Structure 1
Amino acid sequence: MNMKTSKQISAVAVALLALGLSACGNVSRNVAKDGANAQQLVWPNPNDVTPMHRGGTFPELAALRQVHAGLDKQQISQLIGWPHFVEGVWGVREWNYVFSFREADSGQVTVCQFKILFDEDKLARSFYWKPEECSRYMNPPPPPPVAKSPRQETTLSTDALFAFDRYSLEDITNGGRSQLNALAASLLEQKDRIAHIGVLGYTDRLGSDAYNQMLSQRRAQTVAKYLAAKGVPDLLISAEGRGKADPVVQCADQKRSKLIDCLAPNRRVVVRVDSRSD
């Protein structure tokens, strides 16, 4: 062991001995028996820390955030070290620290004081910061914001797109062509970011399942062909008929004309656009 190492060990031993022997009492006035508070909180001068803690230490945030009520002094010391002042260790019910924190955004260092009060069984019960805003370092970082879904969805009424009970390109109404032209233009603007375009056709519950499946499939295919004809890459597009599945509204039985009107939202084509993740 070289002389420098020997001196360092001696300095640590002397400091620990001083802490153990100098149980001179609490800094604060009349710490409650249950450690929940004190009649008067008193903060030691930061310049009075022991030499090894001069300027404060940088605690590991993960360890600091594990400090909680009910831990004994040994457990506290394993997480954040022994107290930074010569106030005693075993015979007192208050520990004080000076911690330094480097701000992630600016790189500046914030210096805070941290105080723990113990109950008569020497278990940690209450915690204090100076300034109080430093308590934020005890809080875990907020969860990352939920990423917005890369999926965009456009719903088109088939009553507006097609003539009644029709599905071919020639059956698309003038209003339907205007809607599809606008949609195609929007897709072309973002085509380099698009991973997939799903065209889903739906019908209402009137009619047989087989017929509704066929009608919804052909309408979805027609919309997909129209978009491709406008320049949207057809390799990105898929078409699927879902018949009467996933109804938007439920309508009670009534006169047929009124029932048809009520079920109109279910007769639709949904265009789902998934963006690339890269």
Structure 2
Amino acid sequence: MNYSKYTRLALLVGGLALLSGCTRSISNVTSEGKTNAPVFPDKSDAVRAEGSFVNVDNLKQMRHGLTKAQVYELIGVPHFDEGVLHVKEWDYIFNFTMADKSVRTCQYKVLFDSDMKAQSFFFLPENCLTPQAAIKPAAVAPVTASPAPVHKELSAESLFAFGSAKLSADGVAQVNQLANELSDDVLSGNQLIVTAYTDRIGKPASNLALSQARAESVKTLLVENGIPASHIITKGMGDAMPRVNCPGKTSPAVIECLAPNRRMTLDIVADRSGK
């Protein structure tokens, strides 16, 4: 019968688990997968005493957090009968062909934590592959949270009179406050995008021009407050991307209904201009 690759893998792992009989730990492994003194078994006790010629590129990929299945895929099953399931250490005998074509044999140990994730790695001797080709567990780049995007939205009603691009007194106060909040640290390496939107009332071309003029008015006041013009991008979107749809001819009720569409957004994004 022909088995798939994964079926053969499952049978092999299952067979090794049965052969292991009882599981054991000789290095006093903690629940975190650590030990103060790794203990290597005698090579004569190995079920594969000749060891294996491990793929060095795979060995370089050994790192913290790998599952046992991933370790198996990289460097194979352990060479001692310490078990496959529910044990915290796997031991190997690895052969390496050196630059002068000689073969160097070393032992290698992987320790697992209580979640069965690889956490510690040891060679015997410790300098097994130095100086020719020292191998250490691959460094895992620290995961740093990306800065949360800065997004602020203002109602055009609070900034401008209806149909006007001139900032109202309240609008001037809001933009001045915004300028005070924009420190050099916030804008360092970033750009401020000022985007204005109108409602559908009027001709599309006029709405587009009005929205651009409103965005420019905000930019002008920001610059007056010391924000470098090179950090500010303005966009007039006219009546595009409406938030609400209010049918009917122009009337006070429709104008009020369309208020959510008349808005100004401010976004701080990374500067991609290459400056």
The offset of 1:113, in angstroms, is 2.5
C-alpha distance 275-186 of structure 1, shift in aligned 2 (>3 A):
farther
Matched, 1:42 2:34: no
C-alpha distance 167-252 of structure 1, shift in aligned 2 (>3 A):
closer
Q: Using the alignment, how far apart are the partners of 2:77 and 2:245 within structure 1?
A: 69
Alignment of 1:45-60 (within 5 A): 46=26, 49-51=41-43, 60=59
Runs (4+) of structure 1 exceeding 6 A deviation are 140-143
Alignment of 1:1-278 (within 5 A): 35=15, 42-44=22-24, 46=26, 49-51=41-43, 60=59, 62=61, 68=69, 79-80=75-76, 83-84=79-80, 95-96=81-82, 112-114=88-90, 133=114, 135-137=116-118, 144=143, 147-149=146-148, 151-168=149-166, 172-190=167-185, 193-247=188-242, 249-254=243-248, 256-275=251-270
Please report the TM-score for the alignment, with normalisation by the length of structure 2. Answer: 0.55
RMSD of aligned residue pairs (Cα, Å): 4.5
1:196 partner SS: strand
CA deviations on 1:140-176 (whole Å, 9 max, x unpaired) are 9799355235x422212111101121113xxx22221
Q: Using the alignment, how far apart are the partners of 2:45 and 2:214 within structure 1?
A: 75
C-alpha distance 209-235 of structure 1, shift in aligned 2 (>3 A):
same
1:112/1:134 contact within 8 Å kept: no
Code of the aligned partner of 1:113: E
Gaps of at least 5 residues in structure 1 are 1-33, 85-94, 99-110, 116-128
C-alpha distance 191-134 of structure 1, shift in aligned 2 (>3 A):
closer
Q: Using the alignment, how far apart are the partners of 2:157 and 2:217 within structure 1?
A: 14
Q: Using the alignment, how far apart are the partners of 1:45 and 1:222 within structure 2?
A: 72
Q: Using the alignment, how far apart are the partners of 2:220 and 2:174 within structure 1?
A: 14
Whichever of the two has the greater Rg, that structure is: 1
CA deviations on 1:86-133 (whole Å, 9 max, x unpaired) are xxxxxxxxx3279xxxxxxxxxxxx93349xxxxxxxxxxxxx99761
The offset of 1:180, in angstroms, is 0.8
C-alpha distance 38-143 of structure 1, shift in aligned 2 (>3 A):
farther
Partner of 1:89: none
Q: Using the alignment, how far apart are the partners of 1:154 and 1:48 within structure 2?
A: 60
The offset of 1:231, in angstroms, is 1.5
The structure with the largest helix share of the pair is: 1
Q: Using the alignment, how far apart are the partners of 1:35 and 1:246 within structure 2?
A: 62
The offset of 1:196, in angstroms, is 1.9
Range that drifts further, 258-267 or 36-45: 36-45
C-alpha distance 52-201 of structure 1, shift in aligned 2 (>3 A):
farther
The offset of 1:230, in angstroms, is 1.5
Q: Using the alignment, how far apart are the partners of 1:188 and 1:66 within structure 2?
A: 45
Please report the TM-score for the alignment, with normalisation by the length of structure 1. Answer: 0.55
1:197/1:236 contact within 8 Å kept: yes
CA deviations on 1:3-46 (whole Å, 9 max, x unpaired) are xxxxxxxxxxxxxxxxxxxxxxxxxxxxxxx6497699512463
The offset of 1:82, in angstroms, is 5.3
C-alpha distance 240-230 of structure 1, shift in aligned 2 (>3 A):
same
Matched residues, number? 196
2:88/2:116 contact within 8 Å kept: no
Partner of 1:3: none
